[in-house]
Homo-oligomer: A and B are copies of this chain.
Amino acid sequence: MKLTTKGRYAVTAMLDLAIHAESKPITLSEISERQGISLSYLEQLFAKLRKNELVKSVRGPGGGYQLFNSPADIVVAKVIDAVNESTDVTACGGKGNCHDGKQCITHDLWCELSEQIHQFLSGITLQNVIDKQKAKEEAQREDNLRPSEPNNTFILSQVS
């Protein structure tokens, strides 16, 4: 599926937008500085995010970007899809023709993995990520003696 900085930047920027959401739009310069992402690169990403109706823009002075929907209605998968154009890990792109026209022995395997990844990322909204972050900070404030212990609770994970 190809998860690279492009996708990571996009999610980070969207989260920044969600966190600093006000009535006023947020400029890319702000995001650029806060998150340490090149402004020109952000512009490229936001062009795609806008085309996919994940953000809306306001031009001119006082302008900037705002989330198209509420953070609770935007899933991470959409954001990555928007800039990366596929969360698919097959060689054939789902067509089943990578072994000279015929479907290769590994095809089904990659198909299912793709599905798995997509399902995971489709189940997490921007709001989920923010809530988790807040909970974590609060926990750290209460007992900031211990070094942070990992707590994976986006999903009730089936770790044994």
Chain A residues packing against B (C-beta within 8 Å): 1-3, 5, 8, 11-12, 15-16, 19, 35-36, 76, 89, 91, 99-100, 104-106, 108-113, 115-117, 119-121, 124, 129, 132-133, 136, 150, 152, 154-155, 157-159
Contacts and interface: CB of A to CB of B under 8 A. Distances in A.
Dominant SS among interface residues on chain A: helix
A133 B103 CA distance: 11
B154 A112 contact: yes
24 contacts: A3-B89, A3-B113, A5-B91, A8-B106, A8-B110, A11-B106, A12-B104, A12-B105, A15-B105, A19-B105, A36-B99, A36-B100, A105-B133, A108-B152, A108-B154, A109-B154, A111-B150, A111-B152, A112-B155, A113-B121, A116-B117, A116-B155, A119-B158, A119-B159
